[in-house]
Structure 1
Amino acid sequence: MTVKRIGVIGGGQLAWMMAKAAQRLGFDLIIQTPQKNDPAVSIATEVIFAPIDDKAATIELADHCDVITFENEFIDLEGLKPLEKRGVRFCPSLKVMTLLVDKYRQRSYLQHIGLPVPKFTTLENLSSFNFSFPIVLKVRRHGYDGQGTFIIKTPEELEITAKNLEGKEVMVEEFVPFERELAVMAARSVTGEIAVYPLVETYQSNQVCRWVLVSGDISTEVQKEVKQIAINLLTRLEVVGILGIELFLTPQNQVLVNEIAPRTHNSGHYTLDACKISQFEMQLRALSGLPLDSTELNCLGAVMINLLGYEHSRQNYLEKRQKLSEISCSHVHWYGKTNIRPGRKIGHVTVLLEKNEITSSSKIRRQHLLEIAQKVESIWYSQ
């Protein structure tokens, strides 16, 4: 099947960055999104203005496209199943989405196929769960960027939080005292070809990603283990598309799979500037059957820093963006959002280490990248 027109459910910054990749590859990108000021509206080939769970709008989207992919997980899976039965092609498939968008179902599947995961249960079965505080509560669906995740330190906190979450399905897991949080992007094409990007380190604050380091300062053994985890997962699920895989690395050097995102992901934004093929182009290549090509870095290392809202405003922060662009080898990506609020992702900055800039150890590269991240944040969050 020849793919020329690609539909996307969602029109945020991920679709915006995907639309740029679609232009380079010569695809038409048609999006379904509710707001006229959503980031991808300005660049998509066509726009269907409707909520992303509007089934009638998705039927219209399907009539205009060869294949439909997703920008987020806020979708009505049951409403889409009749479309898939009548021949509409979704990538990833609705079977894959069903397994992955529910955190408890996802974790159960990962455990079933033998991947290492933290201990977990449901809130209803907590009494039979051998645990000690702290523990982690996660809303099973629609939790992202710190929403729906709670670190519980005492029985009193547990009682209050459980009451506040009454009526919602909740997963409970052990708190992992990790040494580092890791992530990897991996894609599988319609032909079965698999591509795995470099393993990166992420830093979260209040369950929101602040920055991503691409330093190579992770042992070869861990890198190989994570790559095999990614390959096993993609193969078993028969994924067509790209996955973001988040992991914990414990002080004992044990790797545990934390969460899977069935789409492009914040931890892969560095690929826009640091790799020959970005995660967004890789997703399009995977679902269209084009060769996946190389995931290698085009630089010695990189750091990606999220620009998070820190106030309620409608500013465009031109002066700060100019200062950020003056940092050597920096790339500023501004999403064009007009409604700024604390914690909202409104852009990101990637800074590259050129191959002739630093030739010393990965630990020194990592420290240098951390200093760059601190410099970017000091500019961005200065009042």
Structure 2
Amino acid sequence: MSIKLGIIGGGQLAWMMADAANKLGVELIVQTPSPNDPAVSIAQDSIFAAVDDAAATEILATKCDIITFENEFVNLTALSLLEKQGVCFRPQLSALAPLLDKYEQRCYLRDLDLPVPQFLALSEEKNLESQIENLGFPVVLKTRRHGYDGQGTFIIPDFLTLSKIVNQRHTPFLVEEFVPFTKELAIIAARSVNGEIVIYPAVETLQEEQVCRWVIAPAKITKEQSLEIETIADKLLNSLQYVGVFGIELFLTAEGKILINEIAPRTHNSGHFSLDACETSQFEQHLRAVCGLALTNTRLHCGSAVMVNLLGYETSQSDYQKQRQQLANIPQATVHWYGKTEARPGRKLGHITVLLEQDNRNAVKNIIHKIESIWYPPAKSCQNFPE
């Protein structure tokens, strides 16, 4: 008898669980706003409602054995009533509770003695300038809830800009020091119902306008830095008693210091390379974890891998068939197209992964350049390449 798994959210992260679900005998049922969302095409059943619609989730619970999350924009207060009635959420709601507000999340990480940038919550009762005087400019301003892919995140160069944004947007904000990093890193980890943890190789990423542009696996970092990142993941997942896949984005400074940038209690863009480059993808690992199955190997089965997001650069209805075919002709490449019906600047329409026999940075740089030159018009092509 198959396990029926409900997923709150029906975007590409849920869509990419399809192959693993078929392999493991898991039936997927999604709660998602639109019949055009990617996962609708692979789900056994769909409920069309916003992800924070708890009444819809109550209906979802009648159709499945376990409920998991594609994103974290949920109403925990309402869902906790369902949990008390016996609905099984994985990860459990207690693991999500300290994470959804970014200020509370930062406090949680700090209290675990995990490395984070200096931060504070802006208070409407206090003078704005006096609150941030110890941070200096530039600073990073973040909305405390519902920010992803750069939405709600601002690099602030001066007090005038800060004051303008805060006064225009009447929403709670977190302010952090700006970290002059040398590399952006990320790691994907998974924890099972029984407390087993598996960790994927740390990767290097490039974020432009707070949206992931590309990922290289593995990251070129020292063994000590890799172990430090794995220790961070292990400590965090065990503290939360988390069940499922978890993504952590990090900064590496010129002094070799590791700082946590963002965390995501779900499958994550920085782990998409695992679909083609690892013995077990992050999506299969997530299904295994939340369904109570044994976790499996996270090793790369290639020397290295490059994942490049295919981001929208215009507003159109095109499916970009010509570019996709050119990309598919790159040796050792796999194109994943999410089937979205509308392109707009910055929207994640798909991604491509290319496998390499060796970890050669010149080859990596050439592949990223080739992919971007095929996908983007010249003016939009990336100018930042890995060193």
Per the shorter chain, which TM-score range? Answer: over 0.9
Q: CA RMSD in A?
A: 1.3
Q: Report the equivalent of 1:146.
A: 150
Count how many residue pairs are aligned between Structure 1 and Structure 2.
373
- Give the match for residue 370 of structure 1: 365
Question: Residue 322 of structure 1: SS of its match in structure 2?
Answer: helix
| Partner of residue 285, structure 1 | 288
Displacement of 1:367 after TM fit? Answer: 3.1
Task: Please list, as runs of the form range in 1=range in 2, the aligned pairs for 1:104-115 lying within 5 A after superposition.
Answer: 104-115=103-114
After the TM superposition, which of the residue ranges 367-376 and 262-271 deviates more from structure 2?
367-376
Cα drift, residue 216 of structure 1: 4.2
Deviations 1:249-277 (A, max 9, x none): 00000001111100000000000000010
CA distance in 2, matches of 1:382, 1:158: 33
Matched, 1:274 2:277: yes
Deviation at 1:77, TM superposition (A): 1.3
Q: Which range is displaced more, 15-24 or 180-189?
A: 15-24
Amino acid at match of 2:329: E
In the TM superposition, what whole-angstrom CA distance separates every residue of 1:5-32 from its partner, at most 9, and x where no partner exists?
Answer: 1100010000100122111111111111
Question: Are the aligned partners of 1:117 and 1:256 in contact in 2 as well (CA < 8 Å)?
Answer: yes
TM-score (norm 2): 0.94
Q: Secondary structure at the match of 1:315?
A: coil
Contact 1:3 1:67 survives alignment (8 Å): no
Q: Distance in 2 between matches of 1:145 and 1:339?
A: 17
Counterpart residue identity of residue 62, structure 1:
A
**Residue among 349, 353, 356 paired with 1:353:** 356
- The yes-or-no answer on 1:241 pairing with 2:244 is yes
CA distance in 2, matches of 1:258, 1:105: 14
Contact 1:134 1:152 in 2 (8 A): yes
Residue pair 2:115, 2:258 contacting (<8 A) in 1 also? yes
Give runs of aligned pairs for residues 155-170 of structure 1, distance below 5 A: 155-166=159-170, 168-170=171-173
Letter of the 1:27 partner, please give it: V
Does structure 1 retain, via aligned residues, the 8 Å contact 2:2–2:27? no
Q: Take 1:135 and 1:338, find their aligned partners in 2: how far apart are those partners?
A: 37
CA contact (8 A) 2:201 2:218 kept: no
Unaligned runs of 5+ in 2: 379-387
Q: Note if 1:102 corresponds to 2:101.
A: yes
Structure 1 letter corresponding to 2:217: V
Q: Cα–Cα, structure 1 residues 128 and 312, in superposed 2: closer, same or farther, change >3 Å?
A: closer
For structure 1, the residue ranges without an aligned partner over 5 or more in a row are none
Q: Does 1:317 align with 2:312?
A: no
What secondary structure, in the 3-state scheme, does the structure 1 residue paired with 2:228 have?
Answer: helix
Identity %: 57
Aligned residue for 2:98, secondary structure, equals helix
User: Under a length normalisation based on structure 1, what TM-score does the superposition of the two structures give?
Assistant: 0.95
Task: For residue 72 of structure 1, report the CA deviation from its aligned partner.
Answer: 0.8
Deviation for aligned residue 1:3: 7.2
Matches within 5 A, 1:1-383: 4-124=3-123, 127-129=130-132, 130-166=134-170, 168-354=171-357, 358=358, 362=359, 365-382=360-377
Please say if residues 122 and 131 of structure 2, whose CA atoms lie closer than 8 Å, have aligned partners that are also in contact. Answer: no
Paired with 1:154 and 1:216, the residues of 2 have a C-alpha distance of: 33
Given that residues 137 and 170 in structure 1 are in contact (C-alpha distance below 8 angstroms), is that contact kept between their aligned partners in structure 2?
yes
Are 1:84 and 1:90, in contact at CA under 8 Å, matched by a contact in 2? yes
- Over 3 Å counting, the alpha-carbon distance change for 1:326 and 1:174 in structure 2 is same
State the secondary structure of the residue aligned to 1:116. Answer: coil
In the TM superposition, residue 105 of structure 1 has moved relative to its aligned partner by 0.9
| Deviation of the 1:221 alpha carbon | 0.6
Whichever residue aligns with residue 368 of structure 1, its letter is A
